Chains A and B, each alone.
Chain A
Amino acid sequence: MPKTILIIDDDPVVVKYLTALFEDNGYNTVTAGTGLEGEQVLKTTTPDLITLDLEMPEEWGSNFYRRISREDRLKKIPVIVISGMAGRHAIKKAVAYLPKPFDADKLLGVVKKTIG
């Protein structure tokens, strides 16, 4: 059974890119353009991994992360931060921090190592 990745990024271009990249490599994907949309998706789906942008128009990715880490069902889901912002200060528990523009092979490597 293929693993599912939730992609959260406000830039539709990045969402499209990550979707194609993950699906070409045998993963399922679900997507969201904001943290709030991400929470909507999480009501019906429990993904195996989340990629999260930090800087989004209405709310920072770190707020989304704070909210989901309060829920037992969601707090174990590994998160990879993919952002143009420097530093990984925002989410200390992230399994990886990839600054944009990211290296696709490196991202796939991290994903494979984390969820197989």
Chain B
Amino acid sequence: MNMSLPEKTSKNETLLLVDDEPGIRRVLGITLSDDGYTVLTAESGEEALALFKEHRPGIVLTDIKMPGMDGIGLLKRIKRIDPDTEVIMISGHGELDLAIKSIQNDAVDFVTKPIHDEVLAIALKRARDKIEMRRTLSAYTENLEQLVAEKSARLVELERRVAVDQTLEGLSAAFRELAGGVGGDVSFFNDMPCYVTVHNTAFDVVAANQMFKERIGGIEGKKSWDIYDAEENSRPCPVEKTVASSTGQKSRHTVRLKDGGSIPVMVHTAPIYNQNGRVELVLEISADITEINHLQKKLQATRQRFRQLFDEVPCYISVQDRSLRITAANKRFKADFGDDSGAFCYEIYKHRSDACPQCPVARTFQDGRSHSHETVVRTKTGEEYHMLVLTSPIRDENGLVAQVMEMSTNITEVRRLQDHLTSLGLLIGSASHGIKGLLTGLDGGMYLVDSGIAGDNQTQVREGWETVRLMVERIRNMMVDILFYAKEKDLKWQRVDIASFAEETAAAVAPEMTADSIELVRDFGPDLSEVRLDVGIVRAALMNVFENARYACRSDIAPKTHRIVFKVFQDPDKVVFSVEDNGTGMDEKTLSRLFKTVLSSKGRKGTGLGLFISSKIIEQNGGRLTAVSTLREGSTFTIEIPKTPAIQMASRQSIVNDA
């Protein structure tokens, strides 16, 4: 036999051929190998199954009637192992029931013996198409999953930032509270990490704090000197000395612990006088020296951690005085806005020479409260960031606002995500609109098939089937459009010679225009130079605009010569492509909805992107897609691309990306 299959798709595909007749295995095997398949052969269902498990071929071609496990049995087993395997059945003449049974069990096709080349070629093509389609879809799905993962990671990062903001707020509140509590509260005693005791002038211990009781013991019958190690020459003890001299004492001693151990302490005493000015009680505070070392270390660590937090939080922190002069700033602030300490906030943030009208720091100085404010600032390298600014007062010992801490979080990315979500929402809206149209079309196709069968009208059945096929094609196009849009696209800016880009684009659409008797006029400016742009995106959008213009001309019933003028020109800031047609034109309502919905399910051939998607993508690249139109006169679509992409790219970056 002599089959010829398109080489590019059959290469590298492994195929398992199962037949109990050696002749068929040999002849068919050679042909399939010639066509580029890697062919495995088996003479029985059992052997085939073992080979299948080992090699996992994508396509299995099996005879139905075999001794032992027959083809149908093999088909079922294979589908249970890997439902994605495409199985083609070979049946004898007149075994239609077996063929039907195969298809019911999910075989991709069947061929009858004797095997005709073309029939087998079609079956194999169908199998390859299914495999190819599944691979493409799975690639899309994986891309989508990855996209979702990336998006979620970014959201988690944003949430983390919000949490840090809140922590900072909590910290500054705690500091304020602590400062207020230092002077007064006596319950403080019990919480103090020292031994605190009160003695009378008969040298009885009359009161002790919790820590004393826990570590040294009860106070009943305890004399002031009993606290200390007996071997130590501790008489007169600090309390005795205090009573004798009426002044506070400071000395080092060793205390005996309940558990028999002893620890060195630093002892401070203070006499407490009665109304007559005589010493009545003595307050003794002993601090564990080892504990002090520990406390000092802890304090230092805390300070360091706080410094680190100050420097490393993913926000910009600065401290400002009343004149809005920056007196301190964290590392990140200095890195992005310069460490020009002593400069004014408005100079550094906003590059202006006087205070901003809505300054939240000034408001905090006025009312002593925290304020928040959203604004756009510019870094020292000229990038613009959307910032959420929070302020918090720093008070002096008198409770007056001495300085204000300003914390700014870069929310550029949040804003961008919000925009993206909004347009995704629009996309879903228009997709569901499009799907309504497609369902109507499918209903139509099915009706034509049904009524064609009922009336025995083959032409109508074919027409109906063609309609169903067309709708499936449109669904596929719509899927591709949606995926194209949902996918995060890397910008591929490259230097492009505008004149040749324009000529190539015109050449690509010219044949279709000629076929529809539409005159294509090129009107290219004289001084087109090289410009940086993303060729793929601009071309996709232009093709779509041309497709619309062609459709507008084709469906115009006015008796006139239809013409599409393709203009390309440059001005100092941008490149402008415009496509002007004299077709049907649009009324205002249609024009106003043009870029909002229309994932068109209708007349459009569906070769490219919808106008909605085109305009969004051009926008994301810093450009604009606009349209003007007059009903019955024609429309003009214009794409403007700025010449300095750096400006747009800057706004897409964010603190997350450079962190």
Contact = CB atoms under 8 A, between A and B. Distances in A.
Interface of A: 10-14, 16-18, 20-21, 24, 33-34, 36-37, 40, 55-60, 63, 84-85, 99-102, 104
Nearest to A36: B557
Interface residues of B, number: 36
B308 to A, nearest CB: 56
B36 interface: no
The 3 residue pairs across chains A and B that have the minimum distance between CB atoms: A17-B444, A101-B439, A58-B584
B555 A57 contact: yes
Interface of B: 433, 436-437, 439-445, 447-448, 451, 455, 460, 463, 467, 470-471, 551-552, 555, 557, 583-587, 589-590, 593, 601-603, 631-632
Contacts of B587: 58-60, 63
Contact of B471 (A12, A13, A100): A13
Given A13-B441, A20-B448, A20-B460, A84 B436 contact: yes
B555 A59 contact: no
Contact of A58 (B444, B470, B590): B590
Given A59-B631, A60-B589, 14 more contacts: A12-B603, A14-B440, A16-B467, A20-B447, A57-B552, A57-B586, A58-B631, A59-B584, A59-B590, A63-B587, A84-B436, A100-B439, A101-B440, A102-B443
25 contacts: A10-B603, A11-B601, A12-B603, A13-B440, A14-B437, A14-B441, A14-B444, A17-B441, A17-B444, A18-B444, A20-B444, A34-B555, A34-B584, A56-B590, A57-B551, A57-B552, A57-B586, A57-B590, A58-B555, A58-B584, A59-B590, A63-B587, A84-B437, A101-B440, A101-B443
B436 A13 contact: no
B211 to A, nearest CB: 74
A24 B439 CA distance: 21
Contacts of A21: 447
B461 to A, nearest CB: 11
A6 B551 CA distance: 23
A20 B589 contact: no
**Most chain-B CB neighbours within 10 Å: which of A10, A59, A85?**
A59
Contact of B443 (A17, A55, A56, A63): A17
B590 A17 contact: no
Contacts of A36: 557, 584, 632
Nearest to B635: A58
Nearest to A60: B589
A17 to B, nearest CB: 3
Nearest to A24: B451
Contacts of B467: 13, 16-17
Contacts of A17: 440-441, 443-445, 447-448, 467
Nearest to B446: A17
A37 B554 CA distance: 13
Contacts of B440: 11, 13-14, 17, 84, 100-102
Contacts of B433: 84-85
A65 B506 CA distance: 39
Contacts of A104: 443, 447
Contact of B445 (A11, A13, A58, A99): A13
A45 to B, nearest CB: 16
B448 A33 contact: no
Nearest to A21: B447
Contacts of A101: 436, 439-440, 442-443
Nearest to B629: A58
A53 B437 CA distance: 11
A14 B603 CA distance: 11
A29 to B, nearest CB: 14
Contacts of A33: 555
B453 to A, nearest CB: 12
Nearest to A18: B444
B470 A13 contact: yes
A56 B470 CA distance: 20
B441 A10 contact: no
Identify the interface centre among A14, A40, A99: most chain B CB within 10 Å of its CB: A14
Contacts of A16: 444, 448, 463, 467
A58 B552 contact: yes
Nearest to A99: B436
A55 B433 CA distance: 11
User: Which of B439, B460, B602 has the largest count of A CB atoms less than 10 A from its CB?
Assistant: B602
